[in-house]
Copies of this chain bind each other. A is one copy, B any other.
């Protein structure tokens, strides 16, 4: 952090910088001595992870399907636990009992105007040795679909997000009493049946259009990396934006004996039956839909004319599950901290898959295991982390972050006290670094990744990310920021992997790291995501898995060993300012759009533009939204900015920027405050309508699922036109930001008492 701050100061007087020798400045939060030692340990660490071992581990772990409830899932957990133990971790397997329905009956049939029976089956491929394990494979389905047996006219709803239903209404198409067919993409899959049910549909089919991840994108498996015609994307459709984890035990660990909801009362189970299908199964259905031709942006890559319906295609959908409880196996290994055993740096990746799951999740899991092995090697040669390091291999991520969520809920009080940071990974593929997380860690993780070598280009992964982003930037402003800003902006986190319960339920600062972007392929959640596929089309020589080990492991070590925790608030405050600007722009554009639309309705523009041979329904005039009072947010964002500057000055004056850390007593107090800094961003009441999500800065969108909504209460109130609620939401968030600023001020004041 010291180094980065120094760079900022230099930038203020000149934008032309001589390259700094990173080795010459102490690591942020380290004294000169401890920095030197840390660099040596990290260098040793980064040399250890082995591509060959990762390959072997992946081959073993992906040898059989290992979804929740299978013998191989348990066996994998035990194997991972044995490895962690072997590496010197204090390891245990913690179990939970979760609701995990599996398919009993499944049918998708076109019953009019012609008859077609969907196969609902992914065939094995001769040259791919694990693709033929049909008896062990989980059939294609969407977990947490309600049971149902329905027949109705079919409507094509594009991605099935709220905007798509507005477009349908413009064409006079309703889904009331209909079956919808939505393509994958455009939102998290669980949003599709949720929004369909809100609009009165009685069944939902989701298919993989070849436009998304099939032949439109590239050659299909086994000739290429992309989804073959019978490939199906399994996946959860639980209403995760309400809460993650076991649908029956929101907020508490799913241990034997805890109070469980009745299945019928579980709010995250879908309201209508859902099944996923392949594009070869979807094609006859889509070809049979009549009515208006779908808007251009809705058309996929099948060789047919996409229509909206409803009908004449009529479809029968049947879904019945075994509504069983299954046991999940979280593997937890610890290295106790030598100085601060009650400060935990937690690192996790899930181990369960939908089928064989080579890329998802084993590419990340084998990277994590190599980190653990490498740390074990360091322990043997004398390294002792100051803080406790916790390595976790989660079970049940695929059905809904079950393993991580139940563990977080079960251990909430202890985590609230001890957790410093949670570092997550999941899929690793070839290509570019992706970084998401808490912006108080933005500068820290930038510093870490500056030291990691890109295995394809042999520049740092930070540099490659910067240069590639410049090459792909769409505006001079974007390029200027990429060139001039000290740190890459990290993504805010929504959901979709195990960071969510840590960050959004408990307020533990989190990071999510990954690699990808170079032909990730189209076998996601199918039987084809296996060892043969991964070693032919993805990170074939495991060099990005190795880079993942180096990146996440370095981050864990640097957090575990720091004298002063390297949280930083300048980037965070800057990011909050961008969110506030976005919200204002959103409110303005909502207002302007409604005013303009009302005017066009009055002018008759919609009627004039419409083709009278087609059905067109002009939108209805809407009340013009009020001007909103953003002043409280502006004020609190400004206060936060000042606090961040105060902390930076205190840091500088304390000597921390120059390798002179404060006394252990001062450091301990400051660290205690810093550890609480993310906790200050949650409110016990949680977000409006979804109290499980307590973080007031980051949440998965209620209608996007994985994609983040930042300052979610305010943003979603504006998006959902709940104008009367916005003032209260702004007040809540502003108070949170002011409390955060107060905490930062305390830390700054404490730090200022230290002599350089």
Contacts and interface: CB of A to CB of B under 8 A. Distances in A.
B303 A303 contact: yes
Contacts of A519: 611, 613
Interface in A279-304: 293, 299, 301-304
A219 interface: yes
Given A215-B303, A216-B305, A219-B293, A608 B476 contact: no
A210 interface: yes
A457 B613 CA distance: 12
A609 B468 contact: yes
Contacts of A302: 303
Contacts of A299: 216, 301
A210 B604 CA distance: 34
Interface stretch (A90-98, A146-154, A459-467, A699-707): A459-467
Nearest to A302: B303
A481 interface: no
B218 A305 contact: yes
Q: How many copies are assembled?
A: 2
Contact of A305 (B224, B596, B607, B608): B224
B468 A303 contact: no
A612 B301 contact: no
A600 B431 CA distance: 19
A79 interface: no
A488 to B, nearest CB: 13
Nearest to A223: B305
Contacts of A463: 608
A596 B305 CA distance: 42
A154 B447 CA distance: 49
Interface string A432-444: 0000000000000
Contact of A471 (B303, B468, B609): B609
Interface string A584-613: 000000001000100010011111110111
Contact of A608 (B219, B459, B596, B612): B459
Nearest to A220: B305
Interface string A397-420: 000000000000000000000000
Q: Which of A456, A609, A612 has the most CB of B within 10 A?
A: A609
A297 to B, nearest CB: 12
Q: Which of A219, A467, A471, A606 has the most CB of B within 10 A?
A: A471
A470 B305 contact: no
Given A215-B305, A611-B518, A600 B470 contact: yes
A654 B303 CA distance: 65
A149 to B, nearest CB: 33
A467 B305 contact: no
Contacts of A456: 612
A14 interface: no
Interface in A185-226: 210, 215-220, 224, 226
A472 interface: yes
A303 B216 CA distance: 8
Nearest to A226: B305
A479 interface: yes
Nearest to A604: B467
Given A224-B305, A470-B600, A603-B470, A608 B457 contact: yes
Contacts of A479: 596
Contacts of A303: 210, 215, 301-303
B216 A518 contact: no
Nearest to A608: B467
B210 A471 contact: no
Q: Which of A303, A430, A463, A606 has the most CB of B within 10 A?
A: A303
A464 B612 CA distance: 13
B293 A613 contact: no
18 contacts: A215-B303, A215-B304, A215-B305, A216-B299, A219-B293, A219-B305, A224-B305, A431-B611, A457-B607, A459-B604, A459-B608, A464-B608, A467-B605, A470-B600, A471-B600, A476-B592, A518-B611, A518-B613
Given A467-B605, A471-B606, 12 more contacts: A218-B293, A220-B305, A226-B305, A299-B301, A301-B301, A301-B303, A463-B608, A464-B608, A470-B600, A471-B608, A471-B609, A518-B611
Across the A-B interface, the 9 shortest Cβ-Cβ residue pairs: A467-B608, A468-B609, A471-B609, A303-B303, A471-B605, A467-B605, A518-B611, A464-B608, A470-B605
